């Protein structure tokens, strides 16, 4: 309490209002000179006191009860302002007495202040600011008691951050798939426009007839021995996907383009291979703005960047060029027909396998560390057991008595010696 009180009271109040997210805390009036009589007039200070006091009471009591506690807000006439001060002072005094009586966490602040109406009339620094600080501190503990506080805030923050980042990556994959489909449509359009083959075999065939021929050819392929069974059908579907012929080609009789999107969005559910990195709250608070900026980037802008990287990697693997001026020229002269749909599709599978491999590596490291700990504890137990002297085993005599000289079958009045012989 003493270390906190060493800070300037206006600064403490501004910190409280920032944490509580007061709507007008970023206004020009809310600075280090808040409620300073030399900087602000009485009317301005009174208006700030009314707005701030009403908002803090709403945080404690709610919107329904506050109308009964402060019925004259907003104050337009001087009589309403006077009634507001009276009601506000009465409420603060009742809140102060109940907190001190119940010995709550905010009682430390309430014991050092007095809820007097004269403080509300002056609205200046000193005791008035201490009264507002006691009220804002009471709001803190009230909100904390009614909220569901997580037992492990570091884990909660890291888990939610990993969930949002994983969702963003999945949506970027969806957008990349849409860009790939757009690119293939542009390729088809370009080939149709520049095509010189006028006398094609299917040039005069109508579109429904072409679809029927396609379905018939598909049935012939599926009837072969090599393509029977669900696994073979899935393999054929995967090959068609890599070829960029669409995702609904194998669905005979159903030619809706909306089905293609479902293939890309089917992996948007929470994945078990998220990499959850635990961060301390101060570190997480410092990095939080950068996380927010990255998450606020448009999905299609990120997808375009990923799409360009895919094209660049395809060029490198095709032409085996290094980073040079010639490579740059090839990138600028890249036509849409050179894009391979298999590159983007296989890249998504490779990323999934990479996430699974990283998760297995982390699990393996945890197992190795745990095994080392168990081995160390086992060695310590062996060392302690070997250092203790061994107890001599108890021997039995031939006549059924223990070495201590007490027989199991002797009468209670008969006593034997240590060798098991009768004494009388």
When comparing pLDDT for 381 and 285, which is higher? 381
Question: Which region among 170-174, 238-242, 328-332, 361-365 has the lowest average model confidence (pLDDT)?
Answer: 328-332
| 191 CA to centre of own chain | 46
Q: Which helix (H) or strand (E) holds 377?
A: helix 341-387
Predicted model pTM: 0.38
At residue 393 the predicted structure's pLDDT band, cuts being 50, 70 and 90, is low
Interval 7-45: pLDDT, tens:
778 888 888 888 887 888 777 777 777 887 787 788 888
Is 247 in a helix, a strand, or coil? coil
Q: How confident is the model at residue 326 (pLDDT cuts 50, 70, 90)?
A: low
Go through 282-304 and write b for each residue having 16 or more CB atoms within 10 A of its CB, e for each that does not. Answer: eebeeeeeeeeeeeeeeeeebbe
Say how many C-beta atoms besides its own lie within 10 A of residue 407's C-beta.
16
Q: What is the pLDDT of residue 258?
A: 36
Task: Kindly report, residue by residue over 42-78, the tens digit of the pLDDT.
Answer: 888 888 888 888 888 888 888 888 888 888 888 888 8
| Interval 315-338 mean pLDDT | 47
Question: What's the Cα-to-Cα distance from 420 to each of 264, 397, 406, rounded to whole Å?
Answer: 90, 8, 8
Q: How far is CA 274 from CA 266, 269, 359, in A?
A: 17, 12, 8
Which of 12-21, 135-144, 148-157, 371-380 has the weakest average pLDDT?
Answer: 148-157
Q: Is the pLDDT of residue 313 over 70?
A: no
Q: Is the pLDDT of residue 225 over 80?
A: no
Residues in Cβ contact with 131 at an 8 Å cutoff, skipping those fewer than 6 apart: 92, 113, 114, 115, 119
Residue 98 and residue 283: Cα distance in Å, rounded?
Answer: 38
Residue 313: CB partners within 8 Å, gap ≥ 6?
A: 343
Over range 106-122, report the average pLDDT: 78
- Cβ–Cβ < 8 Å for 315, 326: no
Sign of CA dihedral 325, 327, 328, 332: positive
DSSP letters of 89-125? HHHHHHHHHHHHHHT-TTHHHHTT----HHHHHH--S
DSSP category for residue 374: H
Task: Say yes or no to pLDDT of 262 above 50.
Answer: no
Does position 257 have pLDDT exceeding 50, yes or no? no
Closest listed residue to residue 330, CA positions, set 313, 347, 346, 344: 313
Q: Are the C-beta atoms of residues 294 and 164 closer than 8 Å to each other?
A: no
What are the angstrom distances between the C-alpha of 168 and each of 50, 88, 161, 299, 315? 44, 48, 11, 8, 27
pLDDT of 191 > 60? The answer is yes
Structure tokens at 8: 């300037």
Q: Residues 195-213: pLDDT tens digits? A: 655 566 777 778 888 888 8
Q: What's the pLDDT score for residue 344?
A: 64
Domain boundaries of the chain, sorted by first residue: 2-146, 153-332, 394-424
User: Which residues lie below 8 Å from residue 312, measured CB to CB, with a gap of 6+?
Assistant: 331
Look at residue 287 in the predicted model and tell me its pLDDT: 78
- pLDDT tens-digit map of 264-308: 334 444 444 445 566 677 777 777 888 888 888 888 888 888 777
pLDDT at 71: 82
Q: How many secondary structure helices (H) and strands (E) does the chain include?
A: 16, 0
Mean pLDDT of the chain: 72
Q: Cα(47)–Cα(345) distance, rounded to whole angstroms?
A: 62
């Amino acid at each position: 309490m003493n270390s906190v009180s060493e800070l300037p009271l206006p600064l403490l109040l501004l910190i409280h209002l920032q944490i509580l997210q007061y709507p007008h805390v970023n206004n020009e009036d809310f600075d280090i000179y808040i409620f300073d009589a030399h900087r602000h007039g009485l009317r301005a200070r009174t208006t700030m006191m009314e707005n701030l006091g009403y908002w803090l009471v709403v945080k404690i009591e709610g919107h329904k009860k506050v109308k009964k506690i402060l019925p004259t807000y907003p104050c337009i006439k001087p009589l309403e302002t006077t009634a507001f001060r009276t009601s506000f002072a009465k409420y603060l005094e009742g809140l102060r007495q109940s907190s001190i009586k119940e010995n709550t966490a905010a009682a430390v602040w309430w014991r050092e202040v007095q809820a007097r109406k004269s403080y509300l009339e002056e609205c200046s620094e000193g005791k008035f600011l201490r009264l507002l600080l006691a009220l804002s501190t009471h709001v803190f503990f009230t909100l904390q008691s009614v909220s569901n506080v997580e037992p492990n805030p570091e884990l909660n923050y890291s888990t939610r951050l990993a969930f949002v980042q994983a969702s963003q990556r999945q949506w970027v994959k969806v957008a990349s798939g849409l860009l790939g489909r757009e690119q293939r449509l542009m390729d088809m359009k370009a080939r149709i426009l520049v095509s010189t083959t006028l006398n094609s075999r299917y040039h005069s065939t109508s579109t429904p007839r072409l679809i029927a021929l396609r379905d018939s050819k598909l049935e012939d392929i599926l009837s072969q021995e090599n393509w029977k069974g669900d696994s073979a059908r899935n393999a054929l579907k995967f090959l068609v996907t890599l070829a960029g012929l669409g995702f609904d080609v194998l669905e005979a009789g159903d030619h809706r383009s909306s089905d293609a999107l479902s293939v890309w969005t089917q992996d948007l559910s929470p994945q078990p291979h998220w990499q959850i990195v635990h961060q301390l709250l101060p570190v997480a608070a410092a990095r939080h703005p950068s996380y927010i900026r990255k998450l606020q980037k448009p999905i299609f802008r990120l997808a375009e960047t990923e799409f360009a990287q895919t094209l660049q990697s395809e060029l490198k693997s095709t032409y085996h060029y290094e980073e040079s001026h010639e490579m740059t020229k090839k990138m600028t002269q890249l036509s849409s027909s050179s894009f391979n749909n298999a590159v983007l599709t296989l890249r998504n599978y490779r990323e999934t396998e990479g996430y699974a491999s990283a998760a297995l590596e982390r699990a393996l490291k945890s197992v190795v560390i745990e095994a080392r700990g168990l081995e160390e504890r086992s060695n310590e137990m062996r060392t302690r057991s070997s250092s203790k002297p061994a107890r001599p085993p108890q021997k039995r005599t031939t006549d059924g008595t223990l070495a201590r000289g007490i027989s199991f079958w002797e009468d209670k009045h008969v006593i034997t010696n240590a060798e098991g012989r009768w004494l009388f």
